[in-house]
Amino acid sequence: MSDKSTLLREADEAFAELQQAVDGLPDDTMRRVWLGTWGVREILIHISGWHREMIPALARVARGEPSYPAGTYDDFDAWNAQFVDRKAGVKTIDVLAELDASHRAFITAAAALPESLLAPGGAARESFEGAGAGHYREHAAQIRDWRKTVSA
């Protein structure tokens, strides 16, 4: 299996772990604040936001351009807050639908890249990994740990 195929498969597997981590949570529990000012809902919005940011970044890399101008994402907290603020009134069911749609679009964008761009040291690898499997697993673990401390 190619390195690209492995990365795409790992991202899908980690995404399934994230989905399992939130499966069955009612809306009021998903909105319960426990991670700073965020609940599960905001974590999922944040993940979708990074998907949507990285899709055009991957397209730029495919054209031989930098994924984004230097300094663009220096303040991750501000970007994260912006993603969450934009979706403040969105229903949780729609947040979940957007998470799924953004993941599929993110994977599709990565799958369209040549193998070399996703190889170790490739121009798209860091952007893909940053918004993909590692990101999903980080938040899935947080959510699983939190779920052990609360009753839904």
Give percent above pLDDT 90 in the chain: 87
Residue-range definition of the domain harbouring residue 67:
3-147
In a domain, residue 50? The reply is yes
- Number of structural domains the chain divides into: 1
Whether the pLDDT of residue 107 is over 60: the answer is: yes
Whole-angstrom distance, CA of residue 140 vs CA of residue 119: 25
Q: HEC states along the chain?
A: CCHHHHHHHHHHHHHHHHHHHHCCCCHHHHCCCCECCECHHHHHHHHHHHHHHHHHHHHHHHCCCCCCCCCCCCCHHHHHHHHHHHCCCCCHHHHHHHHHHHHHHHHHHHHCCCHHHHCCCCCCHHHHHHHCHHHHHHHHHHHHHHHCCCCC
In a domain, residue 84? The reply is yes
In a domain, residue 90? The reply is yes
In a domain, residue 17? The reply is yes
Average pLDDT over residues 99-127: 96
Contact 47, 135 (CB under 8 A): yes
Q: What is the CATH number of the domain that holds 99?
A: 1.20.120.450
Query: The pTM is what?
Result: 0.93
In a domain, residue 93? The reply is yes
Q: For residue range 34-79, what is the model confidence (pLDDT) as tens digits?
A: 999 999 999 999 999 999 999 999 999 999 998 887 777 788 889 8
- Compute the mean pLDDT over every residue in the chain, rounded to the nearest whole number: 94
Average pLDDT over residues 108-125: 96
Q: Give the per-residue pLDDT at 151.
A: 67
Helix 92-111 to helix 40-62 angle (10° resolution) is 20
Task: Return the residue matching tokens 């936001």.
Answer: 49
Query: Which of 73, 23, 26, 70 minimizes the C-alpha distance to 53?
Result: 73
In a domain, residue 34? The reply is yes
Whether the pLDDT of residue 152 is over 70: the answer is: no
In a domain, residue 131? The reply is yes
Q: Is 121 left (phi over 0), alpha (psi -120 to 50) or beta?
A: left
Amino acid at 96: L
Q: Give the per-residue pLDDT at 22.
A: 98
Q: Give the per-residue pLDDT at 73.
A: 75
Q: Give the per-residue pLDDT at 28.
A: 95
In a domain, residue 152? The reply is no
Which phi and psi angles does 91 have, rounded to 5°?
Answer: -65, 145
